[in-house]
Chain A
Amino acid sequence: MAEEKEMVNIYIMGKQYQVPYGITIMKAMEYAGYRFIRGCGCRGGFCGACATVFRKPGDFRIRVGLACQTTVEEGMYLTQIPFYPANKATYNLEELRPDLEAILKNYPETTRCLGCNACTKICPQELDVMYYIAAAQRGDIARCAEMSFDCLMCGLCASRCPAEIVQYNVAILARRLYGRHVAPRAEHLARRVEEIKNGKYDEEINRLTKLDIVELKKLYDARDIEP
């Protein structure tokens, strides 16, 4: 005998649907008959495309979650936000230094931050958004990069900011500056590139490209495989 599946009521675009308890919002919408033809994202909790805002009856709190990760609850009143229009600066990392000036030159609105904390409260990844913006405001690029590491760039913070800052764009600038100018260089990579430039591997590569297919297959089968 098939088990009775527990059903919950949710609201999609204002219309009520009964969906099975325990599935994700994204699955529930598809269960209800919606088809995602664009922009639903990776479905794996990584890209931030499916950021969803919802409320529950009798509760004034705004809640958020990724539709592909968050399971349905009774009474969820859902709104999808595809993305929020964002100010995006164009820059050349080589021309920037990892300092406050780089941030202000590209995103001068960063200093409009009121300290209201709306961004932190809305983040589905529970990041300390206001705090990483505070770090950026005092030129602490490393700290901003570190604190914003798990950002999915879903855009919810930017949607709530009264100072019209696009927090995730400031953060990715900080992370890029960190990667390019602050993070220690990979010495072994630099050495290998030098070796290649000096032609250390030229002979071997030329030999391989001229090999007959049977020989090539033999070499391939006999290669070193890491345990």
Chain B
Amino acid sequence: MQILYFPGCTLSTKAKGLDITTREALAALGVHLCELPRWTCCGTVFPLAQDNYIQMVAAARLLATSASLGENRLVTVCSFCYHVLKRVNHAIKNNREAKEKINNYLEENYSGEVQPVHPLEIIRNDYGFNRLREKLGDSLKGLRVACYYGCMLVRPPGEMNFGNPDNPTIMEEFIAALGGVPVDFASKTKCCGSYQILNTPDLVANRTKEILASAAASGAQAIITSCPLCQFNLDRQQEKVADKKNFRQIPVLYFTQLLAAVFKVPLDKMGIEEHYVDPRAVLKEI
């Protein structure tokens, strides 16, 4: 199965591991990702002002290009890209003024036909978690995994449709299908602080401390995420608390790195050199 793929800027620079493991893991499931030609940055943030159309133009152009290629789905894995694409598409479908203004500016005729999808949705809907369980149901060998969604995947619920915004389950189903044990922890949809790391690092330190403590208290051996910023924050902040007593370091992995490990993708291709907390001990078990 071929499907159009939007990697995004971060996956081409700081999060190459997420890009490589997404492509390899999905390929192993028979899903071939074809990179969208001539793609540009999605814009990163969805504008808060309802009439700020220029900030929707970049994402709208990506979707319109996908539509002109005859595609009806565009896969992206970075939580921020997924968030922006989905919300811009929603605005074009539901906000007549947004649709008209953006189409006038782009000189396109796009009505929201392309559906932005997340690789977890592909695995669930196209491949099937049951099939995954049949094929690879003992791969994780009971590994206790904290599934961290962060904020961008699930909110606002009416537009993101990624499950219950307070208790989504798609990642847990994924882990369970691979034979892991998804641990229940309270902070799974609490924001890590994302790009506030640039200007207000203390805010990120506080948020991540709470999230990491929550995951640790639930007995997690690893945390999985879909977002390069979440990975960076949850991983790097552990350096700050490293000297604290009773603090157990937990490797923060992309869910695709776990899946890639299941498919025996070599560790040196996964981009784990970027990680502060070494995940090799966990990955070698798989």
Contacts and interface: CB of A to CB of B under 8 A. Distances in A.
Interface stretch (B52-60, B114-122, B224-232): B52-60
A134 B61 CA distance: 13
A114 B42 CA distance: 9
Nearest to B40: A134
Nearest to B14: A100
Interface string B31-53: 00000001111010000000000
B9 interface: yes
A116 B57 CA distance: 6
Nearest to B61: A115
Given A137-B9, A140-B12, A113 B41 contact: yes
A138 B54 contact: no
B43 A115 contact: yes
B148 to A, nearest CB: 26
Contacts of A138: 9, 12-13, 41
A139 B12 contact: yes
A117 interface: yes
A114 B12 contact: no
A131 interface: yes
A46 B61 CA distance: 32
B57 A114 contact: yes
| Residue of A100, A117, A128, A138 ringed by the most chain B CB atoms within 10 A | A138
Nearest to B42: A115
A115 B40 contact: yes
Contacts of B59: 115
A139 B13 CA distance: 7
A134 B57 contact: no
A116 B59 CA distance: 10
B88 to A, nearest CB: 11
Contacts of A100: 13
Contacts of B54: 114, 116, 162
A100 B15 CA distance: 13
Contact of B43 (A114, A117, A131, A162): A114
Contacts of A166: none
Contacts, number: 37
A130 interface: yes
A131 B40 contact: yes
Contacts of A117: 57, 61
Contacts of B43: 114-115
A130 B62 CA distance: 13
Contacts of B57: 114-117
Contacts of A114: 43, 54-55, 57-58
Contacts of A134: 39-41
A138 B12 CA distance: 6
Nearest to A101: B13
Interface string A138-176: 111000000000000000000000100000000000000
Nearest to B39: A134
B64 to A, nearest CB: 12
Nearest to A134: B40
A130 B13 contact: no
A119 B13 CA distance: 24
A16 to B, nearest CB: 32
A170 B164 CA distance: 44
Contacts of B40: 113, 115, 130-131, 134
Interface string B1-26: 00000000100110000000000000
Nearest to B62: A115
A225 to B, nearest CB: 49
Given A131-B38, A134-B39, A137-B41, A115 B58 contact: yes
Contacts of B39: 134
B66 to A, nearest CB: 15
A148 to B, nearest CB: 15
A100 B41 CA distance: 14
A89 B61 CA distance: 31
Nearest to A140: B12
A225 B264 CA distance: 64
Closest 5 CB pairs of A and B: A115-B58, A134-B40, A138-B12, A138-B9, A139-B13
15 contacts: A100-B13, A113-B40, A113-B41, A115-B57, A115-B59, A116-B58, A117-B57, A117-B61, A131-B38, A131-B40, A134-B40, A134-B41, A137-B41, A138-B41, A140-B12
Given A116-B58, A128-B38, A131-B38, 8 more contacts: A113-B41, A114-B43, A115-B41, A115-B43, A130-B40, A134-B39, A138-B41, A139-B12
Interface of A: 100, 113-117, 128, 130-131, 134, 137-140, 162
